[in-house]
Structure 1
């Protein structure tokens, strides 16, 4: 069978290998569609933390059951499934508390282990969610939307919150739309005007602010001086991460969704005076996946997936997708 592997930063190869064998307690899956994540783009550029090469990328996956043990009744051949890519140990303190998304021994499929850019894979049944009622396109975006759902849960969003989202990439846009579903007033901030317009027109953000504007005065005007009750960073940019606390109102909650490699610095009197609550939000849980599956019919999937190419042509497009001026929202590859 064929697979695509990132051999080293900036280089993909298309190769053949033996058909995988289904292990005990596993289901053999035929990969149907894979979403391209910011993590994949960073891995290709060589700046993804905790990453090694060569690696088969891909963790936003729509698949079909190809072979399953006949004694297992939860799946049958032909079922459409979503894959939970966070492979947890199930025994550590975090797992015991239900925080499988931050397992002490967590391995992410497609990042720490080889992922979905291959024709077939065999995975544990507890990592799969049956999704026959959804389209392949919808299944392939469950994972990034689940990250947003988890972040909103971490921030304990309320319907009367002023919600500020920094970053209108796929994760930020998912947070914006799902925050709107709760009834919150959502303000999007980005450097890219086209992405901001997408956030407003498609994801229904109430207001948009271009990052090179006078952000703080504009936010004060939009919130009647209240500032953000709940602020999300979906950029992973150090400057943005540190700037986010300035967008918080008193008693505000700040959720760090994006990941930066280095140290962050905050002026303590500023965050102390506001009694700031600071959260990190990592990955998602199975419950977050289920929440997304329940609400995905109301999500603008066709607009969110802005391009799709066959997997064997993907290496020809990847460089363009990493460009700073790329206006691709979400790319997927098909098998």
Structure 2
């Protein structure tokens, strides 16, 4: 049986010297027929670590996936002689390729992290997120002033158990521009300023304050129910982060009950609490209410309960909370 040459990945040709050759092969030996060698390039001396990390981050996961995909027996024998040895060899080859895949995937994740941080594109801290937004139009300035002067905000800021942030401003700009709630829904007429959030340790509770304008309506003057569901999904999910491994979760189930119409041009308060945790699962409940003045009873416009799960690949996901 002939052996096929399979190229898993190549580094950037603009930063290499020399040509391919036996000395540049990353792995050789008796591998399954479907993958004989993994060729690569020699790196020139002036190749910067940032550039290398960019390439590793871009290609590492693809290499890992390819290693896993091809690391399996590709032929069998119809007679018993040497069958045990062949099976043992196949297992060793599969194990070796799996380890190579894990290593490449780890290198890819590190490369992505290193490149983002070396170029100022890493996720920002809670404290940094509070300084990154600048109101640049009249609606945004009005909203910022109203929120910062409200007694509820003063009360939340005085609570030593709560950590204040603007979660969407923790994202790098290139990431935020592709976020529904951090990009598409932010702007004049929509949410003119990124919401504020106060979080308790271990996901015990979350309080968030936002303003919704006239351009997010279903019926004229009434905020679209899908917008409220989106904010509940994100707010309850963010509340669960601290209770789960790796501080990240995805939505498994979300139930929303709408109580009253939500007028456009309103300040909204989202409150959430994690009430049950089992392993990688967290159950959260919460509601959205209209921002009330001192002594007034808040009007609840929507309530929700949800189940969030920390995925098995959570360690590889960016921390957006």
Same fold (TM over 0.5): no
TM-score (norm. length: structure 2): 0.27
Q: Which has the higher helix share?
A: 2
TM-score by length of 1: 0.26
Instruction: State the structure with more CA Rg.
Output: 2
Q: Say which structure, 1 or 2, has more relative contact order (CA 8 Å, 6+ apart).
A: 1
Q: Between Structure 1 and Structure 2, which shows a larger proportion of strand residues?
A: 1
